[in-house]
Amino acid sequence: MNNNRVVVVTGAAAGIGLGIAERFAQDGHPTVMIDVQEDLLEQESKRLQAAGANVLACRADVANRAEIETAYSAARSRFGPISIVIPNAGIANFIPFLSMKIEDWQRVIDINLTGVFHTVQAAVPDMIEAKWGRIVTISSQAGQSGGPQQAHYSASKGGVIGMTKALARELAPHGITVNTVPPSLVDTPQARRSEAVGEFPLEMIVQMIPISRPGQPSEIASACAFLASDEASYVTGQVLGVNGGMYM
Ligand SMILES: NC(=O)c1ccc[n+]([C@@H]2O[C@H](COP(=O)([O-])OP(=O)(O)OC[C@H]3O[C@@H](n4cnc5c(N)ncnc54)[C@H](O)[C@@H]3O)[C@@H](O)[C@H]2O)c1
């Protein structure tokens, strides 16, 4: 396995993204951690560095192309070309459809869908040049089966799944694979926030999961590590549910 490949993970200060960054860094990859939460990002990247990881923390909003380009310039200066991108940053909330304002809709689409567009498009030239690349998007079960009071979120994640398949076809001739991991329930700050405001009772959701517990960020990270490896050279355009069997 080639552990020198440069990895970008967005939404890397917390939750699933932090788990993914931690996994790639532990595997020896130079890892670029991108997030909007500057203080938390600093704290977590320092923690990983103290454990010997080769990580670079960049504050950037995935919905802002200029900020992503600036982060990628810093990443290339420090580590070289980008080989693996894991667009994970996302937001979620629950709003009944008839109460949903266009601003609510637009913000979720801007971050969850257009953010993936920016994060991926800005890195693909490096992969084409290298004739090798891996893109693993983090979508959601909501994009597969729909979530009530989540028309905006479900649309954004369904969009990510469609984009993943389109790019898998378009980029295959360049040696780039593109796959998506749609989690269902993962124990993260986001899931806990939703539970705290009564949007998302974890116990109720757990009853719908054959493996009867929420997933852990490290379990999503394991799938990403496989899909980003040489072992997965013939896997592209796939939707790899890491969801305890909640959606089959
Ligand atoms: N936790 C779950 O149960 C679950 C289920 C399905 C899908 N997902 C998806 O997994 C991804 C991670 O979710 P999580 O539960 O870890 O969320 P989280 O809120 O716990 O962590 C998300 C991280 O992304 C960052 N972020 C948010 N907006 C950003 C932006 N515009 N630019 C850069 N960084 C930004 C946040 O600051 C945070 O650090 C999301 O795309 C989410 O939709 C999560």
CATH number at residue 48: 3.40.50.720
Please state, in angstroms and rounded to a whole number, the distance separating the CA atoms of residues 134 and 176.
6
Three-point CA angle 65, 66, 71, nearest 5°: 95
Three-point CA angle 18, 9, 137, nearest 5°: 105
Residue 67 counted as domain residue: yes
| Whether pLDDT at 113 is above 90 | yes
| Whether pLDDT at 197 is above 80 | no
Candidates 72, 153, 234, 247; catalytic one: 153
Q: 60: left (phi > 0), else alpha (psi -120 to 50), else beta?
A: beta
| Whether pLDDT at 10 is above 90 | yes
User: 149 pLDDT band (50/70/90 cuts)?
Assistant: very high
**Ligand 1 centre distance from Cα of residue 13 (Å):** 9
Total number of domains constituting the chain: 1
Residue 148 counted as domain residue: yes
Q: Is the CB of 186 under 6 A from ligand 1?
A: yes
Residue nearest to atom 43 of ligand 1 (CA): 90
39: CB partners within 8 A, 6+ apart: none
Q: Is the CB of 90 under 6 A from ligand 1?
A: yes
57: CB partners within 8 A, 6+ apart: 12, 33, 35, 41, 42, 44, 45
Taking residues 22-48, report their average pLDDT: 98
Quick one: CA torsion of 216, 63, 247, 135, rounded to 10 degrees? -80
User: 42 pLDDT band (50/70/90 cuts)?
Assistant: very high
| Whether pLDDT at 120 is above 90 | yes
Three-state SS for 70-116 is HHHHHHHHHHCCEEEEECCCCCCCCCCHHHCCHHHHHHHHHHHHHHH
Q: Which domain holds residue 12?
A: 6-184+217-232
Paired tokens of 236: 């592209």
Residue 133 counted as domain residue: yes
Residue 46 counted as domain residue: yes
